[in-house]
Amino acid sequence: MPTEGLISHRTPHRLRIRIPCRKGDAAYFDSLEQICRTIPQVSSAHANPLTGSLLLTMGPQSDWSLPEVAHKLDLRLQTDVRTTLEHRAANQIGDMNRKVRNFTGGEIDLNSIAFLCCLGLGFFQISVGNLAAPAWYVAFWYAMNLASSKDSAPGKLPAPGESGSKGDYHGGA
């Protein structure tokens, strides 16, 4: 029967598999490393029995075949959705922020764009006479928090009531 494995991290050239039920089993992880050396796409494999994980890397011209890897390692792979989704979103936002910074020569980042959008939305709400609805002052609140929390993660907005000053609100993962 295949052993349960969780894909905790996956990029085009790296794959980290956690195998919690075999944590601490050095012989098992040594055998996984040996098997990985027989898989043509895998350029290196590093098993860590203390953490119960296996890190696989492959060359730039290779393509993962997860069913093949799972079959050869006798694993039933599942995605650790919590970790994968969080890291995927953080990586996408970080990549977007780098692209914006490169495009603007480092003068504008995602926080600056979000600040300007929130400020513009607030002025728009006022200009159409929407003074009673919370939309305009919530937009201003977000804009002020973005302006005062440059150390927060790009694109992550603090909720109303959270302080944007340093030390009170920490964005990022």
Domains of the chain, each with CATH number or no CATH? 3-79 (3.30.70.100), 105-173 (no CATH)
* Predicted confidence (pLDDT) per residue in 50-79, tens digit: 999 999 998 776 666 777 888 888 888 887
Name the nearest CA neighbour of 51 among 69, 74, 26, 70: 26
Confidence label for 9 from pLDDT (cuts 50, 70 and 90) = confident
CA distance linking residue 136 with residue 159, whole number of Å: 15
Q: What is the pLDDT of residue 34?
A: 93
Q: Against a cut of 0.85, is the pTM above it? A: no
Q: What is the pLDDT of residue 25?
A: 94
Contact 32, 54 (CB under 8 A): yes
Q: What is the pLDDT of residue 41?
A: 82
Report which DSSP code applies to 51. T
CA distance linking residue 39 with residue 54, whole number of Å: 14
- In this structure, the number of other CB atoms found within 10 A of the CB of residue 34 comes to 11
Mean pLDDT of the chain: 77
Residue 6 tokens, joined: 């969780």
